[in-house]
Amino acid sequence: MDRRFVNRLSRRSVLGAGIFLGTSWMLKACNANVGQDSGTVGGGSAVGEDIVVASFPGTTDAVMREEIAPVVAEKTGIDMSAQPLLAFEQVARVKASPDNPPFDLLLLDDGQNAVAIEEDLLQPFPADRVPNASDVNPGFKSDDGLAPVFFAQGIVMAYNPEKVTTPPTSWEVMLDPNLDAQLGLVSLNSILGTSFMVEMAKVLGGDESNIEPAFEAVSEMLPRVSGVAANPGALVTLFQQGEVDVSPMWHNDALTLAERGVPVAVATLDSGIAVARYSLNVVQNPTAGLDTALAGIDAMLSPEAQAALVAAPYFYIPSNDTVEFPPELVEVLGIESVDDFIAMSHGLDWATINPQRAEWIERFNQVVQA
């Protein structure tokens, strides 16, 4: 009888203890969040705080973790963690829980910034509270009250000089049936893919509002396309494996590949280089609090962080004017400063692209289906 009693008690106690522990754990978690919120908004010091920054998969994530996070920690004491997600995904996640966003800072391109503003996901940027913003090149400052550019990338044509002996001068070379090379494309989910389509359309007489020539071109080149990479990072792997000889690529990826000894050159195109600009903006209701978020942005716009972005092996175009460019950028793109890059590059009309982008992505996916 006694043993039965003990058994019954132990079952109940296990269950009860489980529920008790679970409930207290949940309550503690809720409480911790509240504490963190109220503590930061009121407090001025950022020391000991955490900040979650969205970054892109691949090299951007690597530079954020390995170079930028230590600079932020050293300058502000903020523990920064980067979460790699495509711009689309960042917007989707914040949109899913705007009151309790999973990130404090979003790293978005011009196109997705416009979408995020429309969805009311971002805060206006108080430039006077971020001292390093004054060092940003005027060409990289925002006209619509958002944060200045954090870094930029150029859309270039990368080719294998061992396979393509005559340096290409136009995107049209990808349509040349006599070109003995494997072509590579990248999905339009990426900014690189979308920008490439607009650049191709422009060369063939179209523009942001008339992408038709680019789709015709893709259909035409498809038999010679060796692979359509799911994202720009996968494209780099394909180039490295010799799977692809000619493709659109980020300028910095091409330079990184060259540094690793992969035979790759950047074509000097008559149409110039299109630019993709990225800025870090504070979400509405940041968990870390506005002060901490702004302190993080300030550290990331500092000369130290910006120098890490442009240095080998990353080669991003920084926005801070005081940073020196590495010799590789001078050699391959002929640019020595942020001004040089702005002068040689051109932006795209994302206000026109955005409303059509979903349709383009869907159409592209259907056109390239094997």
Partner 1 sequence: MKISQLLQPKSGQLALPLAIFLQLFYVIPLLVLIATSFQGEGGAGLSLKNYTEFFNNSVNVKVLIDTFLMGIQVTIVSLIVGYPVAYLYIKAPGFWKGILTFLITLPLLTSAVVRTFGWVVIMGRQGLINTALLQLGMIEEPIRLLFTHNGVLIALTQVWMPMMVLPIVASLSQIDPRLAAASQSLGGGVWRTFWQITFPLTLPGMISGALLVFALTVSSFVTPSIIGGGQLIYLPTLIYQQGIILLNQPFAAAVSTLLLIMVVVMVLILTALGRRSRRYIH
- Binding stretches for partner 1 (CB under 8 A): 8, 11-12, 14-15, 18-19, 22, 86, 88-89, 92, 95, 182, 185-187, 189, 226-230, 234, 237-238, 241-243, 358, 361-362, 364-366, 368-370
Minimum separation from the CB atom of position 326 to partner 1 (A): 28
Only one residue has tokens 């925002």, namely 142
From its phi and psi, is residue 137 left (phi > 0), alpha (psi between -120 and 50) or beta? beta
Minimum separation from the CB atom of position 147 to partner 1 (A): 24
- Tell me whether residue 11 or residue 129 sits nearer to partner 1 (CB atom): 11
- Tell me whether residue 187 or residue 281 sits nearer to partner 1 (CB atom): 187
- Tell me whether residue 15 or residue 351 sits nearer to partner 1 (CB atom): 15
- Tell me whether residue 123 or residue 160 sits nearer to partner 1 (CB atom): 160
Overall size of the chain counted in residues:
370
Q: Tell me how far apart the alpha carbons of residues 294 and 151 are, in angstroms, rounded to a whole number.
A: 17
For helices 69-76 and 303-310, the axis angle rounded to 10 degrees is 170
Minimum separation from the CB atom of position 14 to partner 1 (A): 7
From its phi and psi, is residue 145 left (phi > 0), alpha (psi between -120 and 50) or beta? left
Minimum separation from the CB atom of position 89 to partner 1 (A): 5
Minimum separation from the CB atom of position 219 to partner 1 (A): 13
Phi (first) and psi of residue 54, to 5 degrees: -80, 140
Minimum separation from the CB atom of position 367 to partner 1 (A): 10
Q: Tell me how far apart the alpha carbons of residues 79 and 184 are, in angstroms, rounded to a whole number.
A: 39
Q: Tell me how far apart the alpha carbons of residues 241 and 279 are, in angstroms, rounded to a whole number.
A: 32
- Tell me whether residue 246 or residue 269 sits nearer to partner 1 (CB atom): 246
- Tell me whether residue 38 or residue 97 sits nearer to partner 1 (CB atom): 97
Specify whether the CB–CB gap between 235 and 184 falls below 8 A: yes
- Tell me whether residue 230 or residue 330 sits nearer to partner 1 (CB atom): 230
Only one residue has tokens 């590949």, namely 257
Q: Tell me how far apart the alpha carbons of residues 307 and 109 are, in angstroms, rounded to a whole number.
A: 20
Minimum separation from the CB atom of position 314 to partner 1 (A): 21
- The kind and range of the H/E element at 339 are helix 338-344
User: 161 in helix, strand or coil?
Assistant: coil
